[in-house]
Chains A and B, each alone.
Chain A
Amino acid sequence: MSDSRNTPIFSCHDVHVSVEGKEIVKGVDLEVGAGEKHALMGPNGSGKSTLAAALMGHPGLEVTGRIELAGEDISELEADERARLGLFLGFQYPVAVPGVTVASFLRAAMSARQGRDVPVKEFRLKMQAAFEALGVPRDFAGRYLNDGFSGGEKKRLEIMQMALLEPRMALLDETDSGLDIDALKIVSAGVNEATGSETGVLMVTHYQRILDYIKPDVVHVFMDGRIVRTGGPELAHELEERGYDWLADTTTASAGG
C-alpha cells in the first residue's frame, strides 16, 4: 500500500456480518485515507453488498466490529446518524418510493445532512446544476423517487445525490452496472468531481472498465466474506484476465494483504 497515505477518513476493524444467524461477512479490515479511492472486487454472492449495507448501518443485519468515520466510532449509530456525519451509500439496487418527488426527497436529504432547512431557491439552483452535470433531464425533479426509472437513470440519480450531499466517505455499490458507455463516462466524471482530495471512496465493481475513469489507489479482492488480496490498480487487470479461481485456491489466511 502507498506510504503517502493520509490519516484514514474511514476505517473498519474485524467487521463480521450475519443475516438471520448466517455469517456472510467474516472479518474485514479496511482503511481509506482522505482523497483515496479503493475498489472492492469479488464474485457474485461473496458478500460485498452486505458489507456495504452493514457499514452504512442497515438495521436488519447483525454486525460486530468497529467502524470509524474521521476518527469517530460510528459502530453504534443509526444509518441516518452516519449519513448526517458524512457517510454515503450508493445502492446497487436503489429503492423506489412512490408518491415522493425527487425534488422533495433531495431537499429533505440535503437539509438533514446540513442540519438546516435549505432554502428553496438555493436548493433549486444546486439541484439544477447537479442535474446538468449528470445529464439528468430536468423533469426528473417532479418524478417519483426511483419509481419506474431505468437502471441507468437510478445510478445517475445515486451519484447526483452523492454530489448534493457532499459526503466524507462514499460507499458505491456497483454504480457502474447498468450504465451504457456514455453514461459511464458522465457518471465517473460525476464521482471524480464530487470526491476531491477530502473524500474517501470505496467502489464495489465487477469490471475493470470503470476503473479506467475512476482511478483506484488500492484494489481489494473480496471472496466468501473476506478480503483475500489487496494490491494496486494492476490487480484489477489481473482479475479481468484471470478471473477469481486462481485466488480461490490460495489460502484465505492471507486476507487483508
Chain B
Amino acid sequence: MSAERIADLNQDYATRYGFSDPEEFLHKAPKGLDHETVEMISRFKEEPDWMREFRHQALDTFLAKPMPRWGNSELLDGIDFDNIHYYLKSSEGSANDWDDVPENIKRTFDKLGIPEAEQKFLAGVSAQYESEVVYHSINENLEKLGVIFTDMDSALARHEDIVRKYWATVIPPEDNKFSALNSAVWSGGSFIYVPKNTRVDIPLQAYFRINAQNMGQFERTLIIADEGAEVHYIEGCTAPVYSTDSLHSAVVELVALKGAKIRYTTIQNWSNNVYNLVTKRAHAHEDAVVEWVDGNIGSKLTMKYPAIHLLGERAHGEVLSIAYAGTGQHQDAGAKMIHAAPNTSSRIISKSISKDEGRSSYRGMVKVHKGCHDCRTNVECDALLIGEKSRTDTFPTMEIAEDDVRVEHEARVSKLADEQLFYLQSRGLDEDQARLMIVNGFIEPFVRELPMEYAVEMNRLIELEMEGSVG
C-alpha cells in the first residue's frame, strides 16, 4: 500500500465511524468459556436480543458436540478450550511489545519489504493500521452505489434487518463444533451487501479496513450479492500474521442470488502456533457463480474446506486452493460441492506443497442429488512433495445419485522430481534456483488468479519458504 494514497485522506474516521476507543479495546474476558462469558460479550457489544439468544444456543451446541474424529485428531485434542480468551481485542492478545515479536517473523517482514507501521499491525503490536483511511474513501464511492462494506459488529448495529435475514442461513451453528463455537463468541469479520445489478469494479479488501476487530480469533463474515450483482472480496495478506492466540475459528457465509457473482480470495499465513479451523460455505442460486480462491501458507493445523451449494439451475462453483506445509505444519484442506439443482457445474483445483516434515491432506466431497441431471464436475488435486519426510494424503468422496452426470477426477502426487531438477540444472540454473522455478511453476495456476500485488508477494513468500528462512 503506497503512503501517498493514504496521506491526504480524512483522518477522523475513528470518531466518525465509531471505532471502539482504546479503553474499550482493552476490555478482556477472562479465560474459559461458559454462558456468562457469552452473555458478557453480547452485552458489551450492545447486541439485540435475538443475537444474544443465538449465541447462547450456539454455546450449548458447541458444548454438546464431540470433537471431530477426522482431520488430525492428535492435534485437535491438543486444543485447551479452557485456556483461551474468548473475547479479547486488546494488544494483550498479541505481542504487547515490538521487542516480543519473534526475530524470524521480523526478518520475514523485512524481506517482504513491509513498511514498519504495517509490520507492527501485523504483529499485533498496534491495534489499527492506517490504511483504514483508504478504506474510508473507497467506502464513500461504495455508498453511492448502495453497497454496504463494513465490519460485522457495525453491520449488526446499523443494518440489522438485512443481517438478520441472512445470518446463519448458510452455516447454522449445528453444522460443526467449530461453527458452533464461532457462533457463540464471534467478533469482527466483514459484512458486504451489493444491491441488484450492481457491479463492484475494484476488489474489496479487508486489508483496507483491517483492525483488531476483524483480525479476531472468531471472525464472522457474511457477503450477499443480490440478483445480478458482482463482487470480489479479498481477505488476508501474504505476510505472516503473528498471533499469541492459538485458536482461530472463522465462519464465512456467501449468498449469491440469481445471476450474481462472488469471488472470495483468501491468503492466510498464520504463525506456526495457530490452529486455523474455518467453515466457509456459499449458496449459489440460479445462474449464479461463486469462486473461492484460497491460499493457506502458515499455521500449525489448518482445516478448511470451502463449500458451494449449487441451489439453482445453471449455477457454477469453483474452488481453487493452494496449501503449503513446512515442518511442524499440517494443512488439511479441500472443497465441497453440492449439486442440488440440474445443469449445475463445478470445478475444484487443489494444490498442495509439503516440504521437509510438512504434511498436507486433500479432503473433498462432490455430491449430486437425485434428479439433478446434466451436472458436470471436475476435480483436480495435485500434491508436490519436497524431501523424503514430507507427506500427503487424499480423501476424495463422490456421492452421485443421478446417472446423467459428467464427473472427472484426477489426483496426482509428484515428488519434486530429480529429472526436472537435472533438466534445469543442465541449463545452468543452480539447485536452489531450479527448485524455486519448479515450485513457482507448480503454484502458477493459483498465482495467476491473484491481483498483481498479491501475486508478486506470493511468489516472494514461496521463495523465502523455499530458502527455509521463514519461521
- Tell me if B442 and A98 are in contact (CB < 8 A): yes
Question: A140 contacts the other chain (Cβ, under 8 Å)?
Answer: no
A-B CB pair tally, cutoff 8 Å: 84
Answer whether A80 and B437 are a contact pair too, CB < 8 Å, given A56-B426, A97-B424: no
Question: B444 contacts the other chain (Cβ, under 8 Å)?
Answer: yes
The residue from A78, A84, A99, A108 contacting B443, defined by CB atoms under 8 A apart: A99
Within the assembled complex, what's the spacing in Å between the Cα atoms of A80 and B430?
A: 6
Segment at the B interface, from A88-96, A214-222, A235-243: A88-96
Contact with A along B438-469 (1 / 0, CB 8 A): 10111111000000000000000000000000
- Tell me if A59 and B428 are in contact (CB < 8 A): no
Q: Tell me the nearest residue of chain B to A145, going by C-beta.
A: B441
The residue from A80, A99, A105, A145 contacting B426, defined by CB atoms under 8 A apart: A80
Within the assembled complex, what's the spacing in Å between the Cα atoms of A88 and B425?
A: 11
Answer whether A100 and B440 are a contact pair too, CB < 8 Å, given A112-B427, A165-B427: yes
Q: How many residues of A contact B (CB 8 A)?
A: 30
Contact with B along A154-178 (1 / 0, CB 8 A): 0000000100010000000000000
Closest-CB distance, A162 to chain B (whole angstroms) = 10
- Tell me if B442 and A99 are in contact (CB < 8 A): yes
A14-66 interface (Cβ within 8 A of B): 53, 56-60
Within the assembled complex, what's the spacing in Å between the Cα atoms of A95 and B421?
A: 9
- Tell me if B420 and A95 are in contact (CB < 8 A): yes
Show 21 residue pairs from A and B whose CB-CB distance is below 8 angstroms, ordered by the A residue: A53-B422, A58-B422, A59-B418, A78-B425, A78-B431, A80-B425, A80-B428, A82-B426, A83-B425, A83-B426, A83-B428, A88-B426, A95-B423, A97-B437, A99-B440, A99-B442, A100-B444, A105-B424, A109-B428, A109-B429, A112-B430
Closest-CB distance, A133 to chain B (whole angstroms) = 19
- Tell me if B429 and A97 are in contact (CB < 8 A): no
Residues of chain A within 8 A (CB-CB) of B419 are: 95
The residue from A56, A80, A91, A98 contacting B434, defined by CB atoms under 8 A apart: A80
- Tell me if B423 and A91 are in contact (CB < 8 A): yes
Closest-CB distance, B321 to chain A (whole angstroms) = 16
Q: Tell me the nearest residue of chain B to A171, going by C-beta.
A: B426
- Given A59-B422, A83-B428, 20 extra CB contacts under 8 A: A56-B426, A78-B430, A80-B431, A83-B425, A91-B423, A91-B426, A95-B417, A95-B420, A97-B438, A98-B444, A99-B441, A99-B442, A99-B443, A100-B438, A100-B441, A105-B424, A108-B427, A108-B437, A112-B429, A145-B441
Residues of chain B within 8 A (CB-CB) of A226 are: none
Q: How many residues of B contact A (CB 8 A)?
A: 25
Residues of chain B within 8 A (CB-CB) of A60 are: 418, 422
Closest-CB distance, B50 to chain A (whole angstroms) = 49
Closest-CB distance, B121 to chain A (whole angstroms) = 33
B383-441 interface (Cβ within 8 A of A): 417-431, 433-434, 437-438, 440-441
Residues of chain B within 8 A (CB-CB) of A53 are: 422
Within the assembled complex, what's the spacing in Å between the Cα atoms of A57 and B423?
A: 11
Residues of chain A within 8 A (CB-CB) of B420 are: 95, 97
Q: Tell me the nearest residue of chain B to A82, going by C-beta.
A: B426
Closest-CB distance, B1 to chain A (whole angstroms) = 27
Closest-CB distance, A171 to chain B (whole angstroms) = 10
B201-217 interface (Cβ within 8 A of A): none
- Tell me if B443 and A109 are in contact (CB < 8 A): no
Q: Tell me the nearest residue of chain B to A96, going by C-beta.
A: B420
- Tell me if A144 and B426 are in contact (CB < 8 A): no
Within the assembled complex, what's the spacing in Å between the Cα atoms of A83 and B425?
A: 8
Residues of chain A within 8 A (CB-CB) of B434 are: 80
Q: Tell me the nearest residue of chain A to B447, going by C-beta.
A: A99
